[in-house]
Amino acid sequence: MTTTTPSATETGTRRRTGTARTGLLASIGGQNLSLIGALVAVMTLFGALNGNFLSVSNLQVIAEAATITGLLAVVQTVVIICGGLDISVGSQAGVASVVSAMAFTGTGSNPYLGIAAAVGIGVLVGILNGLVIVYGRVNPTIATLAGLAAYKGLAQLLSDGRAQGYVLNDPVFVFLGRGRIAGLPVMVWLLILTAVAVHVLLKYTDIGRNLYAIGGNDTAARLAGISINKYLIAVYALIGIVSAVAGILLTARTGSGQPVSGSEGLELKAITAAALGGAALKGGKGGIGGTLLAVALLGALENGLTVQGINSFWQNVAQGALLVIAVAVQQRRTGERPIGLPA
């Protein structure tokens, strides 16, 4: 029997092909591949159950509904990368929503002053969170948990617990909430621009590298001359700004300032999306691409359950389960077991 030995050319071609595949898989990442697979599975399942699920109109509904969560998830990813956490993003969005509507009506229906007031309160709230964490030496989880309650209460006090203003007769707010550019909703464009800007910041600037360094090893980062306090305050200020933008979009989408409705539970969605996207809750690891895939997965799952007429309470159950699964997978991959007996 005669055996054929592969030629050097064939061997080289196979090696290059294998290397190219390995490089492609490495660039995409195992975490992202898993999310893509899960997203395809969810879309296929609900598409088979309901013919309208994959229609262009419903896909636009999913994208619009996921925009506010996506904005908050993007900045949540940033703060998690540098070793922090912000549980108050939903309440911050609620305060900004109320302030934008009240400032709009209080200034003779001036949308630009309404937007500026909302962004201003977002900056103040974000900086306040950063100052409490850095100089008050309060754990980020506890500090922002307190902020969750405090900012929710502030939004209710400002609005007397009711929706404020009416902005659907203003072209600027209508454009933000319902306008389209090149066929895509303006809200989606804002998410894309924010995600691209943050991705570039994290991956291609010294600021991004320093944020990863702070989350990976804050002691080494401090010894390297990185001003950790300034970075943390700046990150929480960024969260305040983006949360304010989310609040403005909430006002534009619903037509009035919402103190609680529409913003409650956003913090859970944002943290779940960031964790599912591969952001390690201990810090130092994560990316915007994975976060956006997770946002899409959560949006498709939520819409699919709604289309099927499944009780909305199950959506909360699903989000909680996904968060636990994401963290458990992270712990398995790193081999860590911070609580409990060794496995």
Assess contact for 117 and 100: CB atoms under 8 A: yes
Structure tokens at 321: 């389960």
pLDDT at 221: 94
Cβ neighbours, 10 Å, residue 72: 29
pLDDT at 124: 97
Domain ranges within the chain, ordered by starting residue: 31-332
Polymer length in residues for the chain? 343
pLDDT at 329: 73
CA separation for the pair 326, 277 (Å, rounded): 9
pLDDT at 8: 55
Assess contact for 85 and 327: CB atoms under 8 A: no
Which CATH number is correct for 31-332, 1.20.5, 1.10.150, 1.10.287, 1.10.3470? 1.10.3470
Burial readout 306-340 (b: 16 or more C-beta within 10 A, e: otherwise): ebeeeeeeebeebbeebbeebbeebbeeeeeeeee
Tell me the pLDDT of the chain (343 aa) as tens digits. Answer: 455 555 555 555 555 555 545 554 455 566 788 889 989 999 999 999 988 899 988 999 899 989 999 999 999 999 999 999 999 999 999 999 999 999 999 999 999 999 999 999 999 999 999 999 999 999 999 999 999 999 999 999 999 989 998 999 999 999 999 999 998 999 999 999 999 999 999 999 999 999 999 999 999 999 999 999 999 999 999 999 999 999 999 999 999 999 987 778 899 899 999 998 989 888 899 999 999 999 999 999 999 988 888 877 787 787 788 778 777 776 676 665 555 555 5
Structure tokens at 50: 């309901």
Going by C-alpha positions, the residue among 329, 300, 267 that lies closest to residue 75 is 267
What does DSSP assign to residue 179? -
- pTM of the model as a whole: 0.87
Going by C-alpha positions, the residue among 302, 332, 329 that lies closest to residue 318 is 302
CA separation for the pair 94, 96 (Å, rounded): 5
pLDDT at 20: 46
